[in-house]
Amino acid sequence: MFIHNNSSLAEIATLLRDSQSVVIISHVRPDGDAIGSQIALGASLQELGKEVILINEDGCPPSLKFLLGSDKVLIPSEGHIEADLCIALDTANHDRLGASCVGASKFVKPVINIDHHITNEGYGDFVHVDPDSPATAQIIYELISEGGFPLPVVSRDSIFVGISTDTGSFRYPSTTARTYEIGADLLRMGVDCGALSTAIYERYPYRRIELLKKLLGNLKMTADDQIASWCLDLKTKEELSIKPEDSENLSDLIRGIDSVQVAVFFEELKGGSVRVSMRSKSVNSADVSVICSHFGGGGHPLASGARVKGELHEVEENVLNKIHDTIT
């Protein structure tokens, strides 16, 4: 678990200002905070005249391609990238940057690790992790402000999306007064809250509804209805042509059931592993980052995940038993 930072935002801003070329990476299966943080920092540095390369193992998901600058997030090709420094964003575990991204950037030094996950491993040459920040995008806003860097429209929109998606539209307990202040600053600068919120939350493919119908059919309630869980197997994914982003945040739906304290989504992956996405209603109920760390994962007290080797139903049983032992 991450213990302390070794770099201030002022120090990182100086490193960025003194560099001419930068490669920026975020985690596999990127969400709005990962992509938003990448685009926002990249656009700001480009305004300073820097050469910026944005890479992600899976590229930008279709659900986020409404963002200006999303076309600049590339899947790395074979070969090595040359740059003055590498920045890893919103990624607690070095391996979650993805093999292709790690391979493409492995000769780029120094590495700057900027994140908000309390489970961050502290990898890299310069580390700034702020677990009190609800989103990495909020840290990027503070970094840009600290450095006196430009904040173009592309950066403003992307920061808003990053913060909104990681705070559940400014609803989660991790949301701070500072988060609202930054949101207000962005709106005063011209960010269209309504248009961006519609793009984030009200535009999804019909297959997501088909997926929801399937999942509701196998919803399980255990531990006196305190644990809600559902599973997505490979067969269903193939039948419905499900894409990775279609299953994002589905745990939040069943967490809303009155009696539920912990909600879990199990997704079978190719290669004999299972993606576990876990949500808790409150820290008093369960710190799911602790539970997920038992399975090699991590995240936040109320929202965490893991990738676990094993058969779907075997992993399901083991994880549910661990949750049961925690809350009962």
Q: Could you give the CA distance from residue 128 to residue 146 in angstroms, rounded to a whole number?
A: 14
| Listed residue (97, 82, 89) closest to 20, CA to CA | 82
pLDDT tens column, 160-219: 999 999 999 999 989 999 999 999 999 999 999 999 999 999 998 999 999 999 999 999
My answer on whether omega of the bond before 110 falls inside 30° of 0, hence cis, is: yes
Under the banding of pLDDT at 50, 70 and 90, the label for residue 9 is very high
Residue carrying the six token digits 């994002």: 248
Closest CA to 84 of 55, 51, 131, 117: 51
Tracing tokens 């990448």 back to the chain, one arrives at: 38
pLDDT attached to residue 138:
98
77 pLDDT band, cuts 50/70/90, is: confident
Mean pLDDT of 48-58: 97
Q: Do domains 9-201 and 206-327 have the same CATH topology?
A: no
Structure tokens at 79: 């070969």
In this structure, what token pair is assigned to residue 251? Answer: 């745990």
Taking all residues of the chain, what is their mean pLDDT, rounded to a whole number? 94
Q: Which two tokens stand for residue 19?
A: 């560099």
Residue 1 has pLDDT above 50, yes or no: no
Cβ atoms of 108 and 81 closer than 8 Å: yes
pLDDT in tens, 217-269: 999 999 999 999 999 999 999 999 998 888 888 888 899 999 999 999 999 99
Q: Which residues of 122-158 are buried (b: 16+ CB within 10 A; e: fewer)?
A: bbbebbbbbbebbbbbbbbbbbbeebebebbebbbbb
- Name the β-bridge partners of 269: 273
- Domain ranges in the chain? 9-201, 206-327
What six digits make up the tokens of 5? 């930072």
Cβ atoms < 10 Å from Cβ of 210: 16
Q: pLDDT > 70: what percent of the chain?
A: 98
The pLDDT, as a whole number, for residue 79 is 84
The second-level CATH assignment, the architecture, of 206-327 is: Roll (3.10)
CATH number corresponding to 9-201: 3.90.1640.10
Q: What residues have CB less than 8 Å from 259, skipping those under 6 apart?
A: 221, 224, 225, 226
Residue 321 clears pLDDT 50, i.e. is over it: yes
Q: Which among 110, 101, 137, 123 has a CA at the least distance from the CA of 16? A: 110
Residue 168 zone, left/alpha/beta (φ > 0; ψ -120 to 50; rest): left
What local confidence, expressed as pLDDT, does residue 5 receive? 63
